[in-house]
Structure 1
Amino acid sequence: MQDKHLNISAGVASVSVATLLVIAKIWALSVTGSLSIAASLADSALDLLIACAGLLAIYYAARPPDKDHTFGHTSAEDLAALAQSVFILISAAVIAVTAVRRLLATTPHQMTAEGAGIAVMLLSIAATIALVLWQRYVARKTGSKVVSADSLHYLGDLIPNIGAICALLASSLLGFQHLDSIVALIAAALLVLGALNIGKSAWDALMDRAAPPEMIAAIETMAQEMPGIYAYHDLKTRMAGSKPFVNIHIEVDGDQTLREAHAISADLKRQILAAYPNADVIVHKDVAREADKPPHD
């Protein structure tokens, strides 16, 4: 329940910041005509759409399992993250094409009211830093892919915002107009890289990719060192959103009582959940082969 509240708080914060920045950048674009601000505005507008979709996905993914979704709804996070990557790629393409057209134009585009644009971009940077810090905290606590992807995207916004300030200063102090388009191209390239990373992570999860290797290695170590487990096999993992699913077969002494065998498997499950609280863990018990048992004294 705490994870749900944290994720929703990060989603609400993202929507609020994106709304504020869209309004501020629309005004800044209207008074400056800066392409770098236009690129930042397009990014913030997509941020707003994505943040709204992400908030809905977070809320839906937090719903408990039901008759039709016995493993829960956490894959909604991956679908939202995949949609984010597509929107970001489209945004980057539009920005890049516009920037190239301006660079090739015979008459440079003139910007005005650079001071107002700089003030808006400073506001954007301050709000973005505050949001990213909160999202990073929530992502560490909950492991939410949607919050993590949103944080990565906002973090990528900082460089274009700083670049926009540099472009406005270059126009105001030096009369150099092309830096605006160059900054927009750099921003588009950063958006593409971020989108590909987000999309790959979401695609891997939707295709039931295994949990991270370090998590698998840690679970193997737990099974090897747990008293009463002679061997283990068929360790299978997959990720759905921020939730890992773990299935493992352990081999125990067939001569002991069912209560004793269950206590061993319960101990292993508790140890895995202590390390990965959000995991869904199933431990199967099999009778150990005589060859796997230690020799009697």
Structure 2
Amino acid sequence: MKTVAAIPDSRHSRRLNLSAGVASVAVAVTLVVLKLWALVMTGALSVAASLADNALDVMVSVAALAAIGYATRPADEDHTFGHTSAEDLAALLQSALVLISAGMIGVLAALRLFAAEPAPVQAEGWGIAVMAVSVVLTGALVLWQRHVAKATGNRVVAADSLHYLGDLLPTLGVLVALGASSLWGLARVDSVIALLAALWLARSGASIGRGAWDALMDHAAPPEVLDQVHAIANDWPGLKGHHDLRTRMAGSRTFIGLHVELDGEMSLNEAHRIADGLEHKLESMIPDSDVIIHLDPVGPGSGRVARG
């Protein structure tokens, strides 16, 4: 039971999600080119760490864009609940790549930090200019992704936004490292910043992975969603009660199953009208939700007693 009004909203969500995916790929490719040039000019490990992160961003963003496109496919005979779990698989892949990147950068930073002689950093001015451009582009992308994630609830866009938000602090750290090298000759600051960036990446990757794993394991919807369902059902006219609320998340979609209790003497048409109205209300209040309602008769002759 779907409302016609929900169709434009769904199409609008798909367009927003795809726009966020395309923007992510475009920004990642641009930053890789800029930072590769900056690395050649400066030889700074902190720039290399930022470059490695953006190189992974390209792969992950392309995979995320493909997952978003695949997840928009309608349900079919083999996937009766749709294809939205592809978003969670992409987010899990993103998490694994981020953790691998963090480990490699952390090891290199530690080796350089404790080396007998600090590795020289040069042409810091060019590096600073590139990193400043990186901050502007990344900040603009994060703002757009957060807008899209809030509007659509897409888990891949949210994960990508978190990752790029995590990029901002290390990028600012690279600016500090290059500035310290340029102004005071403190070359080891570069390694310290790279090590901190690796720790930040590891934390972000673990967070992304945990959310994706929960969704793939059919984790229940957040408590605030459950409370919203109960509140709407409690006040819905014609219901004698409700029970057996079950939810699960798959990508950006929330699947809801609910048993409602209705007067057993009520006509089937009337019972259907009440349940159908509740289903439409829940789907309108909870973005990208799929609601299935089971009707239970209560009262004399039904064998069930209404729950107070």
Same fold by TM (over 0.5)?
Answer: yes
Q: Give the number of aligned pairs.
A: 294
Moved more, 283-292 or 172-181: 283-292
Asked whether the equivalents of residues 152 and 287 of structure 2 are also in contact (C-alpha less than 8 Å), the reply is no
* Structure 2 match to 1:80: 90
The superposition leaves residues 194-246 of structure 1 with CA deviations (integer Å, 9 ceiling, x where unpaired) of: 11110000000000000011101110111111111111111100000010000
* Structure 2 match to 1:255: 265
The answer to whether residue 27 in structure 2 is matched with residue 17 in structure 1 is yes
1:171-190 → structure 2 map (5 Å cutoff): 171-190=181-200
Q: State the one-letter code of the partner of 2:298.
A: A
* Structure 1 match to 2:8: none
The superposition leaves residues 125-169 of structure 1 with CA deviations (integer Å, 9 ceiling, x where unpaired) of: 000011001101110111100000000000000111111011011
The answer to whether residue 248 in structure 2 is matched with residue 238 in structure 1 is yes
* Structure 2 match to 1:281: 291
Asked whether the equivalents of residues 88 and 195 of structure 1 are also in contact (C-alpha less than 8 Å), the reply is yes
Q: State the one-letter code of the partner of 1:38.
A: A
Q: What is the Cα deviation at residue 267 of structure 1?
A: 1.5
Query: Identity over aligned residues, as a percent?
Result: 54
The unaligned stretches of length 5 or more in structure 1 are: none
The unaligned stretches of length 5 or more in structure 2 are: 1-10
SS at match of 2:68: helix
* Structure 1 match to 2:306: 292
The answer to whether residue 218 in structure 2 is matched with residue 204 in structure 1 is no
When the two chains are superposed, the root-mean-square deviation of aligned CA atoms in Å is 1.0
Counterpart CA distance in 1 for 2:233 and 2:148 is 30
Q: State the one-letter code of the partner of 2:95.
A: S
Counterpart CA distance in 2 for 1:131 and 1:144 is 16
* Structure 1 match to 2:171: 161
Counterpart CA distance in 2 for 1:224 and 1:141 is 27
Asked whether the equivalents of residues 231 and 288 of structure 1 are also in contact (C-alpha less than 8 Å), the reply is no
1:100-139 → structure 2 map (5 Å cutoff): 100-139=110-149
* Structure 2 match to 1:32: 42
Q: State the one-letter code of the partner of 1:283.
A: I
TM-score (norm 1): 0.97
* Structure 2 match to 1:142: 152
Q: What is the Cα deviation at residue 104 of structure 1?
A: 1.1
Counterpart CA distance in 1 for 2:207 and 2:114 is 31
The superposition leaves residues 40-71 of structure 1 with CA deviations (integer Å, 9 ceiling, x where unpaired) of: 00000001110000000000000000111010
* Structure 2 match to 1:7: 17
TM-score (norm 2): 0.94
The superposition leaves residues 68-112 of structure 1 with CA deviations (integer Å, 9 ceiling, x where unpaired) of: 101000000000000000000000001000000001110110011
Q: State the one-letter code of the partner of 1:10.
A: A
